[in-house]
Structure 1
């Protein structure tokens, strides 16, 4: 389990304020918030990329930086945050080497992700030469090749075609079935609705909702509206615009 306990960090006029929630083993957590709400900042803290003013993050009951705990966690980044000039097979070998995987495990793991993601025909392509969907698959391969226990996905299906999106949904479900713990940030509520069994809402650097989620009984959009949605205050302006048009 990952425990995020009362973490705070002031960043100019914005920051995280006593953010707390747990990522239980085997769960699929939907981490939802508007742009600038604090999702990315929280993820940076989770990977030790941000010095906290207060609070702590524990992995399986231990400090984030003890006993190589960070090696249990992998991050699926935006496609602009990977080395685009490198070939797919070079990137995967680099990831394996960075994680101290021996030659036998490296070759077996790379072969497995090639087969799983149907990437073998593209292994000699530079990542920048791939379509958006195949680029995302290459990134997925770099995540899965080291068999992490926890995976953080940041907008994993953004800008991909329908076929690739459906493929990724199947991968997420398969990962969940084999007990891999997942946290997903996404603005595509329909996908989160299908996948998540835990929901966290963040607004202006604060957690406003954190609870188990049963897709058969509720909808993420309804929970979002109750805790996050602010109605348009100046709706009368729109009425005035159209009423003036009718008077002409």
Structure 2
């Protein structure tokens, strides 16, 4: 009985933390209309319970994209599981997720499995030799800085000042441009795990999409063929364009032929 009571108490605290985090995040648009001293202030969230609730709240409130950088090395299995759970919730809501991880995550079986599972779920994962700081961007309106690489950090600093958020976004985009796609890294050392062309960095699903696009296929028909929603299919298109450094589908097909992927 004591175990049940402790569990209920923990759940009540969790609900309270999450409610507080949601309320603070919901205030962001309104506060941006307030005087500068209010709208541009910094906010701190202390303790794993509160920061974890804040991160979970972000997945509920974001309406387009979540971007993040992750220093290494990877943390505990529980911390990684919490990270995956938040990512899955975001993907289920149709959000685009882009993450840059330090290469140290690939140097342990647990870390590598974590990145594989994120990529399988639809997260766009890239890897860089080192990542100095954890940044979390909620669209273009919020930026958070954390003191740990993965999981529920000890503290979060939230900024809403447009110039500060833009600066954090620029740091992320520079890291993103310099990082290497996870599939490319994995295929370069052990072939494409999903059955795509060896060395191409494309999964089997991406290979099908690319071939159908080259044949002039329609989006809805291609999505039905590969068994995904039109929203997921369009995320795959964005990923393909990114991998091929193409601005549109025609350029993607031309570049794929040039590389010998078609």
TM-score by length of 2: 0.30
TM-score by length of 1: 0.32
Q: Which structure has more strand as a fraction of its residues?
A: 1
Question: Could you say which structure has the greater relative contact order, defined with CA pairs below 8 angstroms and 6 or more residues apart?
Answer: 1
